[in-house]
């Protein structure tokens, strides 16, 4: 499956890229929202992992710019270090399918949760 990682923190991108690659997925990465939406349009990934707070476009803004039909065919996970403010409900409100808070307790669990999310559909 094609996975798009959009996060302005290189280490976060790298760890996620490595974790998904280990599991055999194709991973694209964007350093900010603008880059992210560009790759989204080009590659049509099935899974997008989006940081909330980023320079330029924020995670929710990226979602808002996605083509609705294409968006329906993919899963979007928002990640953020701001805990408390986001939960599953607010993730839905922001147009995402899931919210995961940073720092991740275990990176492999994140890959598992994401895969499960795709499997459910």
Partner 1 sequence: MQLDQTSAVQKKKILWIGLKPLFQNAHVDSQHIESAASAGGLRADLYVIQESTVVLLEESVLQIRKNDTHGRIFVIGDELPILKIQSLINEHQVTQIFDTSVVNMKSIAKQIENRLEDKAIGFAEVELLQESKKQMREFEVLTQDLEKIVAERTRHIELSKLEEDEKLNKARALIKFIKELGLHFSFEEILILLRKELRKFGLIGDPTLIYQLHPELTHFVAFQNGNLTQTESRRAIQLPSQLVPHDVQLGQVLANHFGRPFLRAIAIPIEVKLIQKFGYEKAAALVVVEIGLQETELGSFFDFIIERVQPLSMAIDRLLLENELTKSGFRWEKTFDNLRDPIAITDLEFEVVRANKKFAEKASRKKCYESFANRELPCEGCPMAEALTSGTPSKGQISRNGRLYQVHSYPIRIDHGGRPTNVVNQYVDITQSRELYLRMLQNEKMGAIGMLAGNIAHELNNPLTGLKSLTQILIGSVKKGSQIFNDLKEIEKATERSHSIIKNLLEFSKGSTEQNTKVSMDEIVQKTLPFLKTMLRMHKFDLNLDSKDALVFVEPYMMQQVVFNLVNNSCQAMKDAGTLSLYTGLSEDKNFVELWVRDTGPGVPLELREKIFEPFFTTKRDGMGTGLGLSLSRKIVEGFGGHLKLVDAEGPGAAFLVSLPRVQL
Under the rule (CB under 8 A), what is the footprint of partner 1?
7-16, 18-19, 22, 51, 53, 81-82, 102-104, 106-108, 110
21: CB partners within 8 A, 6+ apart: 27
- Work out how close the CB of 35 gets to partner 1 at its nearest, in angstroms, rounded to a whole number: 17
Joined tokens for residue 68 = 């609705």
State the angle between helix axes of 107-120 and 10-22 in degrees (0 to 180), rounded to the nearest 10.
60
Q: Is 55 helix (H, G, I), strand (E, B) or coil?
A: coil
CA distances from 48 to 16, 21 (A): 11, 14
Residue closer to partner 1, measured from CB, 68 or 106: 106
The nearer residue to partner 1, 13 or 75, going by C-beta atoms, is: 13
CB of 67 to partner 1, least distance (A): 29
Q: Minimal distance in Å, beta carbon 68 to partner 1?
A: 30
By beta-carbon proximity to partner 1, the closer residue of 82 and 93 is: 82
């Amino acid at each position: 499956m094609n996975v798009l990682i959009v996060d302005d923190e290189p280490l976060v991108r790298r760890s996620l890229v490595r974790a998904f690659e280990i599991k055999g997925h194709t991973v694209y990465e964007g350093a900010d929202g603008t880059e992210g939406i560009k790759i989204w349009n080009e590659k049509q990934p099935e899974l997008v992992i989006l940081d909330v707070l980023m320079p330029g476009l924020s995670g929710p803004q990226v979602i808002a710019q996605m083509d609705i039909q294409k968006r329906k065919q993919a899963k979007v996970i928002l990640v953020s270090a701001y805990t408390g403010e986001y939960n599953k409900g607010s993730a839905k409100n922001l147009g995402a399918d899931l919210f995961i808070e940073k720092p991740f307790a275990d990176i492999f669990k994140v890959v598992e949760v994401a895969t499960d999310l795709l499997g459910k559909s």
